[in-house]
Structure 1
Amino acid sequence: DRDVAQLAQGMPLSACWRPPAETKRILKDLAIRYLPAEWMHRRKMGFGLPSSAWSKEATLDLARDLLLAPSGRLGGLLDVAALRGLVEHQARPGCFSVYQVWPLLILELWLRRAMSG
């Protein structure tokens, strides 16, 4: 929106943020009108993947189906043996990490979509 862009261009940088702790100042100043103030001032919190709701076996089956398939796009960009080794390592007891497998699955799906046309 041009009006929003013009408004933003006219604001001093100090109104927008003060590094390192005061980021997103305008958004927080607006949000504090509607949300509890302590939410705006708490430490940054990420959000995790719902790995406890996912089955290790189902996730690894999906990884094998997508990442190790002959039609897999990552296999054309990476060393297939290394990719296979990673999936096999994840299957070992105590080695599974959804945070290592999930990004590869998402990248594979994105590559398939991007390269399909």
Structure 2
Amino acid sequence: MLLTLLTLGLYYPWAKVRRLRYFHGNTLVGENPFGFHADPRKMLRGYLLVALLLVLYSAAGHFSPTAGFIAFVILAAVWPALLKSSMQFRTANTSWRGLRFRFRGTLRGAYGAGCRSSCRA
């Protein structure tokens, strides 16, 4: 089972790139398809980083409740930065008629967006 999970986990970025290339290539705007140009190895690094963070969070929770809470706070603190980076990567690797898209979000905006939605009490 561990070998299956490892194999599927390592293959996931390649499968996701193939799926996105297919759907982007078959999505037409003005009779022109989108393109997806991501390198699965770069996606794998991102997935491994998130997996490492989740494993550390899980291990800290088994160590002590206080360590689990601290790990949760750290994970919650870096989550907007990870989400912003993910959006930048995906849009930078999407094109239409040879033009690459951009996501101009900033870290300040990513953290501010979370506060705007949760700080309206």
Q: TM-score, normalised by structure 2?
A: 0.25
Identify, as 1 or 2, the structure richer in strand. Answer: 2
Identify, as 1 or 2, the structure richer in helix. Answer: 2
Q: Which has the larger radius of gyration?
A: 1
